[in-house]
Amino acid sequence: MTDTIKGRGYWMLALILAVAMSATRVGHFGELQGPPDASWAVFFLAGLWLREPRLFPAFFVLAWVADLTAFAMGTPTDCYSPAYFFLIPAYGALWAAGHWLGADPARARVPFIIAVGAAAAFVTFVVANLGMYWLAPSPETTNLGAYAAAVAGYFPGYLLTMGLYVGLAFVAAAVLRFKRLASE
């Protein structure tokens, strides 16, 4: 599942991931009806399959532009503060985890991918929320413990969404591999 992708297939995958993030991220705050945000899965899968570090900033800028679009469409700008910069290391954790998994075929086993992906998702959640706590404090939360308790319930949904998108991507990759092998 982590074969090296080359040529046109590489750029096609990059485009598919970019479209998936663009199509789902604009409504990721829940104001617009649509599928849940695929950003976590996109960063993880791009690190795993595309592996080109120079693409990380491109995907981050794409996420930023999608967020600016959402704000222009009426999404509240509460999440747009200096804390937004914490998304760089947060999404970097997902990218790095995928990149690390893809560097060694021995690591590309489903249970290991699930464990590393879940750990990276947890790091992403913690880093992003620490940024919000430190740089965009809510008047309702006065200490870190209260803030952690307030946001902890969101993590399972984020993890499930990421897992579903990653699972769908792996099923699609398996189907494409099967079709390719059947046609040879």
Residue 69 within any structural domain of the chain: yes
Judge whether 39 and 56 are in contact, CB under 8 Å.
no
The pLDDT mean for the chain works out to: 88
CA dist., res. 180 & res. 16, Å (int): 19
Lowest mean pLDDT among 68-77, 80-89, 165-174: 68-77
Is residue 136 one of the residues assigned to a domain?
Answer: yes
For the segment 159-181, the average pLDDT, to the nearest whole number, is 94
> Which of 157, 103, 155, 95 shows the shortest CA–CA distance to 126?
155
- Is residue 152 one of the residues assigned to a domain? yes
Helix crossing, 55-72 with 87-102: angle to 10°? 140
Domain span at residue 16 reads 7-183
Q: Is residue 1 part of a domain?
A: no
- Domain-located, residue 25: yes
Alpha helices (runs of H) in the chain, residue ranges in sequence order: 7-25, 39-45, 55-72, 87-102, 110-135, 144-152, 155-183
The answer as to whether 173 is a domain residue is yes
**Structural domains counted in the chain:** 1
Q: Is residue 57 in some structural domain?
A: yes
Tokens representing 57? Answer: 């900033």
CA–centroid distance for 118 within its chain? 12
Asked whether residue 2 is assigned to any structural domain, the reply reads no
pLDDT tens readout for residues 120-169: 999 999 999 999 888 876 666 678 888 898 899 999 999 999 999 999 99
Query: How far is C-alpha 53 from the geometric centre of its chain's CA atoms?
Result: 15
Percent above pLDDT 90 for the chain:
59
